[in-house]
Each structure stands twice: as structure tokens, then as C-alpha cells.
Amino acid sequence: MNILFLGDIVGKPGRDVVGAELGRLRDRLKTDLVIANGENAAGGFGLTRAVAEELFAAGVDVISTGNHWADQKEILTYIEAEDRILRPQNYPLHTPGRGANLYATPSGARVLVINVMGRVFMDALDDPFAAVGAQLEACPLGEGADAVVVDMHAETTSEKMAMGHFCDGRASLVVGTHTHVPTADAQLLPGGTAYQSDAGACADYDSVIGMEKSEPLQRFTRKLPSQRFTPATGPATLCGVFVVVGAKGLATRIEPVRVGGRLAPALPLI
């Protein structure tokens, strides 16, 4: 099974590069499932019905999110009806939506996708390790699911790496999101789980993590906000990770994906 995970889609430039490149990538990589983090897809903050439908039409099968998932209030009702959108599982019990779900690929394979948010330098939420552990016990790899993907939306690499080792041998892929910079540590952990600390972003990298440079510079140099952050509008790079899952649900291969924009390209060979 071939799975493509795309990092945080930031605003229209991120959506545009996904729309332009994902169809070709799906064909080239023979993907069975595409997951994308969409928490910044609507103007850099949150997700709307129209933006989600645009991403689905472009070839995204599942949209994960993070700390900005509810910034656009219309999502609170939409996420209840649309099970292809996830919010972090470790939000309080009665939060709208779901944080994990089982998806069927065209071949009939079952993929459990779990979305959680870290707690270091982030909002105070329930324990992400307990939340993931409960899902892995309820739907074990190789029994309830043919593959398991965990999106760990977190600020620190240490918390993300700890989640990777926590899930090693019990998940196909643990990948970090949120920091928008693709890390150079794509690897297979000892137990067979594919891991990368951050998938990066689908965004213009002539920016500050996808945002137009002037306002972040103003805040860093003068400690005075002057306006809202807005997505940088130049050509975007599509960033993500490509994973091949073997018959037992563990990964046999992981490689970074980078297409377009300013970053050096990386495209797996099939």
C-alpha cells in the first residue's frame, strides 16, 4: 500500500500547488490514500466547507488539522457531518467532530488515521499519548486496520519523536506537522514504523513559515503587532512524505516529497 501525507496547506498558494501537482503525484506514486493537514488552508487560519471540498476535488482523501482547526466557525457544524475531516483526538470529549477514523482504500484496505496535538508550548489538552494508545488498542494494526497513520501536530521535535517511538511497531507512519519546515530525519524506526519529525508545509517558502514576512519581522523586532498574519503569495512548494506499507501493516520505505517553489525537489522513484 502506498500512502502520501502532505504537510500543512497554507492559504491559496498551498491549495494551488496541491491542485496543480497532486493528480500527477497520485499517478506517479500509485497512491492508495492521500492525507493532508488542512488547518491553515483557509486564508492561513482554519478550514471551511468550500476549501475542504476544493482539496477533496484535488485528490486529498483525508484532511487532518491541529490547533487552528476551529478558527473558521462554520467548521463546527461541517465537521460533524464530514468524516473525512479530523480534529485532534485529545480535545475534550464533547468537542464537535472526531480525532480518528477508519478509511477504506479503493482496493478495500483499511487505514486508521489518528490526529493528535502535542502539549509542549501548545494549548493544555488531554494526554496525546493516552489518546493514541487507546485508538491503537481499539483498532490494532494487522487486525482492525491494515495501516495506521498518526499526525502528531506539535511544536517540539522531542514530543514528536517520543510519539514515534511510543507507536513503533504499532503504526505504519507517525509524522509531525505544525512547524511547517520539512525535517531531514525520514526513517524507519526499529519496530517498522515510518517516521519524520515534520512533513513541512505546502506553502510559499519566501516567507516566515508560510506567512508574509513583514508582520512576523515587525513582531520579532519591535514586539508590536500591526496587522493580521497573511499567507505569502509567491509560488509554493508542496511538501510531504511518501510511505510504502507492507503486508503486515509496517512500513518498508519512507521518503520526503518536495515539488515546486523554492525548496530543492525530492521525488521518490517508483
Pairing, β 2-6 against β 33-37: parallel
Instruction: Kindly write down the DSSP assignment for every residue of 234-245, as one continuous string.
Output: SPPBEEEEEEEE
Cell of 71: 478558527
- Cα gap 176→183, rounded to integer Å: 9
CA 191 remoteness from chain centre: 22
Pairing, β 251-259 against β 238-245: antiparallel
Catalytic site residue from 68, 153, 178, 180: 68
In three-state secondary structure terms, 50 is helix
180 is a catalytic site residue = no
- Cα gap 101→62, rounded to integer Å: 10
What amino acid is encoded at 138 in this protein? A
Active site positions, annotated: 68
